[in-house]
Structure 1
């Protein structure tokens, strides 16, 4: 049976984009056959979205607000189902699959913005004219989500896009389309106009058709830098504006006054364990003050050693497989290259897991110590369960090493010195700095990158404004 696209409220199982055999990473076995959108389906989705946008904007603000709250209520009722689909998508352990809860939280948060003022009125020099500054929706926006965070990105992008008055063509990765498709169904069940949220799993060709479509007025892309360059090139066809949330090589600074037990737990889960390191927020460069380096490493490796590996549907499991065979091959090649080039000392891991897990794409949590920050291991996003540990002497060196990368999405600081926390956070070149805290996305906080980690924001008022364009209206008062 083929899982179909969701366009204008209808399922489409026969598509011009062909199909994709979805593989469950924990077993290496076929899970579903997924229809993929080609240019014809993209065109149909955009047309449907414009019709739905007009219907959406014909509703009063209180009605749109209440419908988004109804959708949030429906998502709440289906949290367990969405979490299980998240596991089916990319074998993230069910213990971490609570990103479905983000969907509910973002919907509730942005529903509250629907009926709030989006504009302003200002005086004009030398005149008594009425000068209005309004924020209006783009109309139809394209949202491209990555396989490793389909629900999280859907939450942070679709919720504000709808609250701003837009319709959405949502393109999840063909590697993880199942939870996003179910969300599209819930939008219909909540009474949103058919086509307001179209869900079109697609590969590179379908994504290119979406970005190049003249009916798409803005694109929000989450993914890697190489693909982002292709997206920007395609968007240039119609000068379509793009928001890009890209990768990272985040530094995690462990100062000598930190709670080392807590820092070890946080570093393990924010590093190689969470989503098997397959996260843009992965803290893959761990910088440790030289006076506590050995003590921290011992505690850190101890936490790594307690990680439960196995069936992602088991609530006790905290560490799962990587997404595919090709990803496993790439990550293992990165490890082998780091060993052969002596980029650091391999402290633990480095191999593919066998036994009853051999058919899945499981790689051991892998830790390198005494890593050279100039090495490829420290500078290239691995997107796998591989982290590097480095020493630093003082605050200035810690900041210098942390900023010595082309990326700037997240940074983490472990310290009990409040003055140091403030000082260092302001010196770090990152869009988000987390002090003694995991990367915990919330609808109240803007999220996005510096440097090659992207531009634009999701979350907060800033995330809403990404889906609104500004119009100035001046009324002469003669």
Structure 2
């Protein structure tokens, strides 16, 4: 057992209970396949305790005032920055994220950006129609927010959800999955160390039972869920029973259109590096569905292959590693099933990869970076989210063909296009059915830009003022004034 993952206690108010109602289970290192820690599993009892702590914590948080809330969040960012080496090692151990990826910079940018919003929340003032008076609107916190995050990047996920809710003046009950609880628990401990009042950020690792209790709890005013569309439907059903609003950031099958006039070196590097490398392909907005124009198709495929074959698969604690393992053995087997099906389907050909990790990596949940070319647009590989290091490249002829195929998907989170034609860039971007579009590069996930999807990729936004407004409610106040 590793000391870095020794503290498995939930954070509930200012307490760290040593035992939980649903017991414990072993945590398996995805890189080795061996048990390395013990996870404490929270359930309805822990959620209820966290809700009571959150109600009290939210009042204390509100009483601090905006300037002190801002300063607390800035102190939290400083503590996370100082603790980043440990947090990155914890992420490498619990979810296989290579140290070389260093996600702390992105997380810190979100925390500091939203700390800056904490003292800048303003309402509006107007003269009401039909009466002599004054009307103004207050943007107020909802109260307690339930946040359910996925396992693929806990540090970034917390910074893109819970921090926004806290900057708006809310308290949070965060439920990380039992696959990756340890970074979240450390985050909660650092929040207390930063002077954030007890109960403002509660961390309860758990499974579906804890999630259902969190959604249904009467003290929780809104749910923020990040994950897959199947679970999202269950979240919405439970929330609907309690007339509770939800914000959903779900999966994607992001199209990446490569036009003949694109810079092929940059486009190929982006297509390979941004679909196969980050989180071993386990990211919702990665450009895993590439459409390349016929005139440059073969040349583009060759350049992607050359890039993909340079990516080092290995131990996430080794700084030379580019791609780590996927989250667990079940995920590796599922991804290999997708690869085997793609090999059997007509039309596509395997360009590189297609195997499990070899040699010393065989015991872990490693999958080689895999590229298929000439894939049929209506194939399973091209239409379904793989959530692994697998890239499909599809041929297109005209701009209209590319847009039609890109939009022929139930998903709509991210989209990408590569061209030197400015008119085409604007026209195609406007036609793509997606919450976010990037031209000639990757979406940077900048905290001042609204991020979110359309169609079955969810609704609600993270980033910028819209991200803050997800966790506020508007109160109208009307003063009747008597004329002199």
Does TM-score exceed 0.5, indicating one fold?
A: yes
- Paired residue secondary structure (2:132): strand
Q: Which residue of 2 aligns with 1:71?
A: 76
Pair 1:137 & 2:132 matched: no
Q: 2:13 aligns with which of 8, 17, 27?
A: 8
| Whole-Å separation in 2 of the counterparts to 1:361 and 1:64 | 42
Q: Which residue of 2 aligns with 1:59?
A: 64
1:343 Cα shift? Answer: 5.3
- Paired residue secondary structure (2:64): coil
| Whole-Å separation in 1 of the counterparts to 2:369 and 2:265 | 19
Q: Which residue of 2 aligns with 1:229?
A: 233
Alignment of 1:141-220 (within 5 A): 141-220=145-224
Q: Which residue of 2 aligns with 1:418?
A: 422
Pair 1:469 & 2:481 matched: no
Contact 2:376 2:394 in 1 (8 A): yes
Q: Which residue of 2 aligns with 1:46?
A: 51
Q: Which residue of 2 aligns with 1:458?
A: 462
1:83 Cα shift? Answer: 1.6
| Whole-Å separation in 2 of the counterparts to 1:77 and 1:188 | 15
Contact 2:406 2:432 in 1 (8 A): yes
- What do residues 231-261 of structure 1 show as CA deviations (whole Å, max 9, x unaligned)? 1111122111000000000111111111111
Contact 1:79 1:101 in 2 (8 A): no
- What do residues 414-442 of structure 1 show as CA deviations (whole Å, max 9, x unaligned)? 11222211111111111111112223211
Alignment of 1:357-372 (within 5 A): 357-372=361-376
Pair 1:113 & 2:148 matched: no
| Whole-Å separation in 1 of the counterparts to 2:477 and 2:199 | 31
Range with bigger deviation, 337-346 or 296-305: 337-346
1:345 Cα shift? Answer: 1.5
Contact 1:25 1:324 in 2 (8 A): yes
1:195 Cα shift? Answer: 1.3
Contact 1:249 1:284 in 2 (8 A): yes
Gaps of 5+ in 2: 1-5
Contact 1:343 1:377 in 2 (8 A): no
- Paired residue secondary structure (1:438): coil
State the superposition RMSD in angstroms. 1.2
- Paired residue secondary structure (1:434): strand
Pair 1:293 & 2:297 matched: yes
Alignment of 1:373-384 (within 5 A): 373-384=377-388
Gaps of 5+ in 1: none
Pair 1:84 & 2:89 matched: yes
1:13 Cα shift? Answer: 2.6
Contact 2:313 2:368 in 1 (8 A): no
- Paired residue secondary structure (1:368): strand
